[in-house]
Amino acid sequence: MKTVFGPVSSWRFGRSVGVDPLCRNACSFDCIYCQVGPTLDKTIQNDVFISTDRIKEDLKRILPGVSADIVTISGYGEPTLAENLDEIIEAVKEVTDLPVAILTNSSTLSLGKMRRILNEIDVVVAKLDAPDESLFEEINRPVKGLHFGNILKWIKKFKSSFNGRLELQTMFIEKNKDYAGELAKIAAEIQPDSVYINTPLRHSLEGPLSESQMSEIEGYFEGLNVSSVYNSKKYRSYKEMLKRRSIEG
Ligand code: SF4
């Protein structure tokens, strides 16, 4: 079981050391394109999946020896389900001064406790694949009780109070490709620091869109800081971007 892995080259982040606080396929969604496969444990319940001590040990063993640009909390499921996420973030910060990012499906942003925990992170990448409830149900297949409108409301509220970078991530597949205009409109309302448009290029039950389809989709996001998986030439230096942000206030 690997709680800390990499660094791996990420089209978004450059050389990224991954931290997996779950090490199992537990998620509040069961996205039809999920590259991990169908969700085995579909839940919104918090739990301590891996002890903080175990993660801390692995961080201390691996992090000091690697050259990386960022630490990304992600893995095989939804990382905000980890009840000890706050301790894990603290442990990362004890071991390194690299920026810390998290990839979340946005389903727990409605929880005040979670928003406070995420406030300790430099970069939050929030998933938004659908512009309405029915497509949300069809693509993300959430646990009962999660609704598109509520998730969107809390992404917007979180953006307005968060001091770090809020980035949006949208996976485009056959089912939502014709809704790029609506998704871009919603993204413009949120005003994220960046938008990543992706399509499943790695193993997935859903095939990827072509380069020209993604380029057409990218056009809808004009005016936003958008990057597509097909034309991510280089990673941005998060250290530089975060430094610039603190200078600009
Ligand atoms: S949110 Fe992420 S981990 Fe969960 S099912 Fe969707 S793609 Fe997979």
pLDDT digits (tens, 9 = 90+) for 88-101: 999 999 999 999 99
Residue 5's H or E segment, with its range, is strand 4-10
pTM: 0.92
Q: Which residue ranges make up each domain of the chain?
A: 4-248
Number of C-beta neighbours around residue 206 at 10 A: 18
Number of C-beta neighbours around residue 202 at 10 A: 6
DSSP 8-state assignment for residue 35: T
Residue nearest to atom 3 of ligand 1 (CA): 77
Q: Identify residue 141 by its one-letter amino acid code.
A: R
Tokens of 93: 């910060």
- The reported pLDDT for the residue numbered 14 is 83
Compute CA distances 36 → 7, 24, 53, 132, 238, whole Å.
19, 10, 26, 25, 27
Q: Identify residue 116 by its one-letter amino acid code.
A: R
Residue nearest to atom 8 of ligand 1 (CA): 34
Taking the mean position of all CA atoms in its chain, how far away is CA 140?
14
Q: Is the CB of 36 under 6 A from ligand 1?
A: yes
Tokens of 49: 């999946």
Q: Identify residue 195 by its one-letter amino acid code.
A: V
Q: Where are the beta strands (DSSP E) in 56-137?
A: 70-73, 100-104, 123-127
- The model's pLDDT over 201-224, given as tens digits with 9 standing for 90+, comes to 888 899 999 999 999 999 999 999
Average per-residue pLDDT for the chain? 92
**Measured distance CA(215)–CA(197) in Å, rounded:** 10
Please indicate whether residue 238 or residue 47 has the higher confidence score (pLDDT).
47
- The reported pLDDT for the residue numbered 244 is 55
Tokens of 3: 């709680």
Residue 191: left if φ>0, alpha if ψ -120 to 50, beta else—which one? left
| Mean pLDDT value across residues 96-119 | 96
Give the architecture (CATH level 2) of 4-248. Answer: Alpha-Beta Barrel (3.20)
Q: What crossing angle do the helices spanning 180-190 and 211-220 adopt, rounded to 10°?
A: 40
Q: Which of 40, 74, 76, 78 to mutate to test the pocket of ligand 1 (most atoms within 8 A of CB)?
A: 78
Give the position, in ligand 1's atom list, of the atom nearest the Cα of 141: 5
